[in-house]
Amino acid sequence: MTATADESMSQASTRSRVAAPDEGIGLDELALAARNHGMPLEAMRYDLTPAGLHYLLVHYDIPGIDAISWRLHVDGMVANPLSLSLDEIRARPPVTIPVTIECAGNGRARLNPRPVSQPWLVEAVGTAAWTGIPLAQLLRAAGLDESGVEVVFTGADHGVERGVEQDYQRALPLAEALREDALLAYEMNGQPLPVQHGFPLRLVIPGWYGMAQVKWLERITVQGEAFDGFQNSVAYRVKAEAEEPGEPVTRIRPRALMIPPGHPDFMSRARFVTVGTHDLVGRAWSGLAPVTKVEFSADAGVTWQDAKLEPPLGRWAWCRWSAQWTVTEPGRYELLARATDASGAVQPVEQPWNLQGMANNMTQRVTVIAFSPPIMTSRS
């Protein structure tokens, strides 16, 4: 390990930090990137992302859970605390909802200076059909005290983050937990939850960034005050300085992504297209309000044209968009796409920088090189 990686690991253990101007990606960030994979952008051709192509993020280790002895506990401000087996949960009437989930750290590695953490570019997203039971029904079956304030979800995984030992825990306001589309999911795309995606049970709270979708659920606790655990009060905050409390990260900001057109160079990922007309296809989503517009630019954002937008599989699934791009001259082009939603939120072209690299929905930029056919002639 290099001195830089050593230094960065000791510093990163207790506080968030940004990379020094000349600091490359260290072995610590590479270790995270190798464990936690993104969705290959060409997988946006599918309405539902095949489970193996869905992005993955695990803070600690994937816990080993014995499905036979596993129980879900529902406690706190409930009249009748529950302890349920997987069979008891599966015996209740199931609901299936297609939901696009995106990591709040998506776009982090594009920020300058770069917050040191999971170094996503833009690919930390996926859409799956989640099957499970409505969370609200279970809370009410447990005799929910409706004067509760927050609901804390505890996973079976355990680790240390910036010096704080913890189970992975996140809380939601009670009103969000009682939404009819908040699910306790045990299937992904019609199959039992894959181990890495939270087997046997996970929370799916549509519209929220990924950190709220607690995997490997073991306990649901209703409490009378705001939860002050690490993931809510320290980690997922938008802030400029380490000392300030910042704003909580909640709903997914609008984003459009395109499937990079043409063919890639293996090592550099540079893209090659032939001169002519190309169909550009992508997806767009927002957890704030439905997507109303996707625009596309072939001149690095100087001029924009409206893309064609198709209705999504459901309110919480991404929309497919398409546009035609005609390139007549060989050369280098920068392609951009950006989304606007019904709340009026539009993706920024400039980076919305913050210390921990949260919710960076800056417009995607795809550089392509146009050739007259054939693309390449030599081989070696």
Ligand X SMILES: Nc1nc2c(c(=O)[nH]1)N[C@H]1C(S)=C(S)[C@@H](COP(=O)(O)O)O[C@H]1N2
Q: Is 38 in the site for Mo ion (CB under 5 A)?
A: no
Q: Is 99 in the site for ligand X (CB under 6 A)?
A: no
CA-CA distance, 238 to 359, in Å (whole number)? 8
Tokens for 42, please give them: 């060409």
Q: Is 203 in the site for Mo ion (CB under 5 A)?
A: no
For residue 137, what are the CA distances in angstroms to 74, 181, 184? 12, 11, 10
Q: How many C-alpha atoms does 137 have within 13 Å on its Cβ side?
A: 12
Say whether 271 sits in a helix, a strand or coil.
strand
Q: Is 148 in the site for Mo ion (CB under 5 A)?
A: no
Considering only residues 102 to 131 of the shown chain, the ones binding Mo ion according to CB under 5 A are 103
Residue 216 interacts, among ligand X, Mo ion, none and using kind-specific CB cut-offs from 5 to 8 Å, with: ligand X
Q: Is 114 in the site for ligand X (CB under 6 A)?
A: no
Q: Is 103 in the site for ligand X (CB under 6 A)?
A: yes
CA-CA distance, 315 to 29, in Å (whole number)? 34
If you search the block for the tokens 């309405």, which residue do you land on? 47
Q: Is 294 in the site for ligand X (CB under 6 A)?
A: no
In the chain the first and final C-alpha atoms are separated, in Å, by: 34
The pattern of x and - marking residues 50 through 89 that bind Mo ion according to CB under 5 A reads -------x--------------------------------
Considering only residues 146 to 165 of the shown chain, the ones binding ligand X according to CB under 6 A are 155, 157
Say what angle helices 3-12 and 27-35 make with each other, to 10 degrees. 70
User: Least CB distance from residue 210 to ligand X, whole Å?
Assistant: 2
**With contact defined as beta carbons under 8 Å apart, do 69 and 85 qualify?**
no
CA-CA distance, 168 to 151, in Å (whole number)? 14
**With contact defined as beta carbons under 8 Å apart, do 226 and 245 qualify?**
no
Tokens for 346, please give them: 């539009």
Strands 364-371 and 271-274: parallel
Residue 55 interacts, among Mo ion, ligand X, none and using kind-specific CB cut-offs from 5 to 8 Å, with: ligand X
Using CB under 6 A, which of the segments 9-17, 20-28, 205-213, 328-336 binds ligand X?
Answer: 205-213
Residue 255 interacts, among Mo ion, ligand X, none and using kind-specific CB cut-offs from 5 to 8 Å, with: none
Q: Is 130 in the site for ligand X (CB under 6 A)?
A: no
Q: Is 266 left (phi over 0), alpha (psi -120 to 50) or beta?
A: alpha
Q: Is 210 in the site for Mo ion (CB under 5 A)?
A: yes
Residue 261 interacts, among ligand X, Mo ion, none and using kind-specific CB cut-offs from 5 to 8 Å, with: none
Considering only residues 27 to 86 of the shown chain, the ones binding ligand X according to CB under 6 A are 54-59
Using CB under 6 A, which of the segments 11-19, 207-215, 261-269, 304-312 binds ligand X?
Answer: 207-215
Q: Is 253 in the site for ligand X (CB under 6 A)?
A: no
Tokens for 302, please give them: 């100087």
CA-CA distance, 123 to 125, in Å (whole number)? 6
- Tell me whether residue 26 or residue 210 sits nearer to ligand X (CB atom): 210
Tell me which residues touch Mo ion (CB under 5 A).
Answer: 57, 103, 210-211
Tell me which residues touch ligand X (CB under 6 A).
Answer: 54-59, 101, 103, 155, 157, 168, 197, 210-211, 213-216
